[in-house]
Structure 1
Amino acid sequence: MQKTGDLALVKQINTAIVLEAVLKNAPLSRAQISERTGLNKATVSSLVQDLIHSDLVIDIGPGQSSGGRKPFLLLFNSRAGYAIGVDLGVNYIRGVLTDLEGAVIHEYELPLKTHDVDKVQQQLFTCIEKLQATIPESPYGLVGIGIGVPGLVDETGTILFAPNLAWKQVPLQTIVEDRFGVPVIIDNEANAGAQGEQRFGAGRGIANQIYVSVGIGIGTGIILNKELYKGASGFSGELGHLSIEVNGKPCRCGNQGCWELYASEKALLEQAEAIGFTELDTLIEAAKEGNERVLALFHSIGEYLGAGIANIVNVFNPDLVIIGNRMSRAETWLSPAVRDTVARRSLGQHHKRLSIRFAELNDQSAVRGAAYYAISRFFIKIKSGEPYNM
């Protein structure tokens, strides 16, 4: 009996190796998989057939011959299933449906004008249902849902504290799983954004990077040595609550003088009211038209943003800082002040190799990262040899 168990484990491991080779290097022939993995050709052929039967790999026919018979090439079947990613913001809910390689198939967004838990929950369900209704027929259907939220999340997917939503102890993972019957992964929105940019955006291939999510609040996702750093209790990245003014404004977190009170979209809009603006989009339009008061406002916010980033640079010495979320739309007017302030305030050796970029995915970093969480969970289950279910 022990030998049978060992053989099953070996097959499971080898199947995962073959699938990983196809995921990373397709199109590949069976012979090329054998060369890359070190598995013999007969084993590869058998495992590939299993993956084809599982609808995870497709044979796309003969490729170019290098002498002798033409090899039959294999691709990962990215449309075998679909994932939903959701960015639950303070003033919006944004969702995407992606295939199993993270490519966006459909998008849906709606404004969020209430923070009442029950009402937000219904709007969240609406977003997910709209996307779910667009899923094409596929072997695995909806494989999971990932959700990024602006707050502290524990390992059970409970939102412990989201100050800008005024939420405490909301068991969001359980609520959504009960409704949709698929695995749900909940994480802080900035962590999801960091994952989105690392996998699909400006952070690809960069070992040490900090994603700064600038929306109504500010959060950060920290990637060190290509891994998301979550801290001892899983709550790292709340750098929007760095104190930058000793006797500053009171914050909903209970502190005062927090960075996000001076450098966020909310800070921008609070100051913009005095000159007759109430929305980010209208401010951007005014900046395009050369409105000097709006340009000065963006410059001021950019300086505060740069001051906080300089602190991050001095602490973490990253290769890259990525500025994302809704305020990335204002890159043209924020960037000069941010870059100048970081250059002046960060230590010379820390700044020497630093790159500052605005999110390549614009304001979709978190929603793409959330979908990636669901895809990643699917692959973990598939590679473990377990039936894919909750």
Structure 2
Amino acid sequence: MGSSVVDGGDHSRLRQLNERAVLGSVRAAGELRVAEIVEQSGLGRTAVEEVLASLVTRQWLVEVSPAIRGRGRPARSYRFRAEAGYVVGLDIGAFSVRGVLTDLDGRMLANVRRSVTPETPRKQRLATADRVIADCAREAGVPVARVWAVGAGTTGLVDATGTVVRANAIPDWAGTNLAGHFKTQLVVADNDSQLAALAEQRRGTPNSSSPADMVFLHAGRRTGLALVLDGQLRRGAFGAAADMSALKGVAWEAALEYLHDVVPAEIPAVDKAERAFAAAREGDRAARAAVRKYARAMAVAAATAIAIVDPRLLVLGGAFSQAADVLLEPLAAELDRLCPRVPELRASSLGPLCVALGAASLAQDAIDTRLLSPSRGPLPQLSARSL
């Protein structure tokens, strides 16, 4: 004879599932009315009301004051408390460490950059990253303790544990365990070009006009490629998808010299490419020729990816996307010569922030995975360190 008594553990498990269903619905939408939460969560109204009251008490959700229109009681709405915690996205490169701080909805509140060099020792580079996190928190006016997660993007190949496996641009960077360095509860890391593509997918263009397949050309002091296929960032089996840095036919590093050679020698190396693009913009023939040579080198690797993936869109991103007015046309001409079909070309609007913003998105994804996983038990009272 079966028992009709529901075990206490079953009640607890059911409540956790209901909490995650309601929290997930509100989190995804930003703000929902009770009727919409009922519809999206698949729960009964009574269960939804109970969970909402509990999540408001524990400060995960807040009831939004409704606008009063006409007669009757206005519909109640709830939103996720995106200001409860923050994430920092880092771009740790050979020449700089850049950070952005965002709330849990991705709204950027701070942007900080510190200079380094390829020869900066590993310990000092990591210390610079720590200072960037502190600077971001200070600029945003929030305690560092409320930074729930750090996402780190860096040049080179990064494995699933957050360890840099290979980094040609920084002599002592291989072997650095980024996930183990930062003193927050949650740290995630990935290759910089991969994260720049993630940022472009999430922030670069309206979703309605963004094709599901995209090749991202990450152009700056370092160059890379990344792929978005079927709407998902494709890292590959070992995180090296579209990494062509070791191919001899891809002369990315040498191509930068084309731009440097048309700029006076006394100009600092960090500013030379920008000066070359500016000169090309003003009609300087030598600079325009240098930009065409640079575009030709970029096109070889981009055309290889296009031939394999056949995407609808190629995005020029990274710091050099700010020179799209002089770079896109020669790039398109070279691709037309190399490809049987050239995809739509578009310049990213994210500029040099793309990697840090992608790292912040990666950190937000990691937070959501923890928040919405019933296996982590009941949601606690929200505090600065609730994860």
- Fold match by TM threshold 0.5: yes
- Residue 187 (structure 1) aligned to one of 176, 190, 193: 190
TM-score with structure 2 length normalisation?
0.86
Unaligned residue ranges in structure 2 (runs of 5+) = none
Q: How does 1:189-268 map to 2 (within 5 A)?
A: 189-202=192-205, 204=207, 205-244=210-249, 258-263=250-255, 266-268=256-258
State the Cα distance separating 1:51 from its structure 2 match.
Answer: 2.4
For residue 109 of structure 2, what is the aligned residue in structure 1? 105
User: Structure 1 residue 324 and structure 2 residue 317: aligned?
Assistant: yes
Task: For residue 138 of structure 1, report the CA deviation from its aligned partner.
Answer: 8.1
Q: CA deviation at 1:384?
A: 1.8
Letter in 2 for 1:356: L
Would you say 1:54 and 2:46 are equivalent positions?
no
What residue in structure 1 maps to residue 179 of structure 2?
173
Which shifted more, 378-387 or 223-232? Answer: 378-387
Given that 1:144 and 1:374 are in contact with CA atoms closer than 8 Å, whether structure 2 keeps it comes out as: yes
Asked whether the equivalents of residues 143 and 375 of structure 1 are also in contact (C-alpha less than 8 Å), the reply is no
How do 1:80-119 and structure 2 match up within 5 A? Answer: 80-113=84-117, 114-119=119-124
Offset of 1:332 from its aligned partner?
A: 1.0
CA contact (8 A) 2:258 2:293 kept: no
Q: Deviations over 1:85-116 (max 9, x none)?
A: 11112211111111111111011012222332
Residue aligning to 2:369: 380
Contact 1:135/1:142 (8 A) holds in 2: no
How many residues are matched? 368
Identify which range, 42-51 or 331-340, moves more after superposition: 42-51
Deviations 1:227-261 (A, max 9, x none): 221222232231243442xxxxxxxxxxxxx3423
Rounded Cα–Cα distance in structure 1 between residues aligned with 2:328 and 2:347 = 8
- Higher alpha-carbon deviation: 205-214 or 96-105: 205-214
Residues 330 and 7 of structure 1: is their aligned pair in 2 closer, same or farther, counting only changes over 3 Å? same
Percent of residue pairs bearing the same amino acid type: 23
Whether 2:275 is the aligned partner of 1:271: answer no
In the alignment, what sits opposite 1:296? 289
Q: Structure 1 residues 156 and 77 mapped into 2: Cα distance closer, same or farther (>3 Å)? A: same
**1:58 Cα deviation (Å)?**
1.5
Give the counterpart letter for 2:204 in structure 1.
G
Asked whether the 8 Å contact 2:322–2:351 carries over to 1, the reply is yes
CA distance, structure 2, for counterparts of residue 161 and residue 120 of structure 1? 16
Distance 1:77 1:140, change over 3 A: farther
Aligned to 2:161: 156
Provide TM-score, normalisation by structure 1.
Answer: 0.86
In structure 2, what is the equivalent of residue 253 of structure 1?
none
Shift of 1:67: 6.8
What value does the CA root-mean-square deviation take over the aligned residues? 2.6
- In structure 2, do the counterparts of structure 1 residues 8 and 268 end up closer, same or farther at CA, with 3 Å as the change threshold? farther
Task: Kindly provide the amino acid, as one letter, of the partner of residue 229 in structure 2.
Answer: L
**Post-superposition offset of 1:118:** 2.0
Within 5 Å, which residues of 2 pair with 1:338-353? 338-348=331-341, 351=342
Whether the aligned pair in 2 keeps the contact of 1:63 and 1:72 (CA below 8 Å) is no
**Within 1, Cα distance between the matches of 2:42 and 2:72?**
22
Deviates more, 1:126-135 or 1:70-79: 126-135
Distance 1:11 1:206, change over 3 A: farther
- Secondary structure class of the residue paired with 1:314: helix
Q: Distance in 1 between matches of 2:357 and 2:37?
A: 29
Provide the rounded CA distance (Å) in 2 between the counterparts of 1:199 and 1:54: 30
Contact in 1 for aligned 2:262/2:286 (Cα 8 Å): no
TM-aligned CA deviation for residue 280 of structure 1:
2.4
Q: Is the 8 A contact 1:194 1:211 kept in 2?
A: yes
Question: Matches of 2:68 and 2:339 in 1, distance apart?
Answer: 53
Aligned to 1:254: none
Change (3 A) 1:299 1:382: same
Following superposition, the deviation at residue 381 of structure 1 comes to 1.2
